[in-house]
Structure 1
Amino acid sequence: MRILQADVTANTVDDKALLKRFKLFGPPGMVFFSASAAGLVSHKVIGYQAPGEFLASLDRAAIP
């Protein structure tokens, strides 16, 4: 798994375009992409999650 972080807290035009592209409302949000289909969103996490819930989300995102 590779991690790419985008800081969209400045709320610039580019930040808004990035959020819109991935149908996110703002931070925190994570988008996971399928390894076999570049650009295909396989899983998404929006908003805060408690540690156990977040680990479960990571497990679901890792399932092909």
Structure 2
Amino acid sequence: MSEIDLSTARYSLLAVAAGIDGVLALLEQQSEWWEGGFAAFCLLELVKAQLERVLEDELPAA
């Protein structure tokens, strides 16, 4: 990948991570009354952790 492609990929993944943060906040609120909300929260938290590892290891900031 070229430098521009890596920069674009990193920016896109950061945008996805920001969106995940919003969904996690909603799931955390819903988990108080919906058991499935907690399970979804845990699963999405794992996905976010993997995304952050990719950002750190494969697409580090310049």
TM-score calculated relative to the size of structure 1: 0.26
TM-score calculated relative to the size of structure 2: 0.26
- Report which of the two has the higher share of strand: 1
Q: Which has the higher contact order (CA 8 A, sep 6+)?
A: 2
- Report which of the two has the higher share of helix: 2
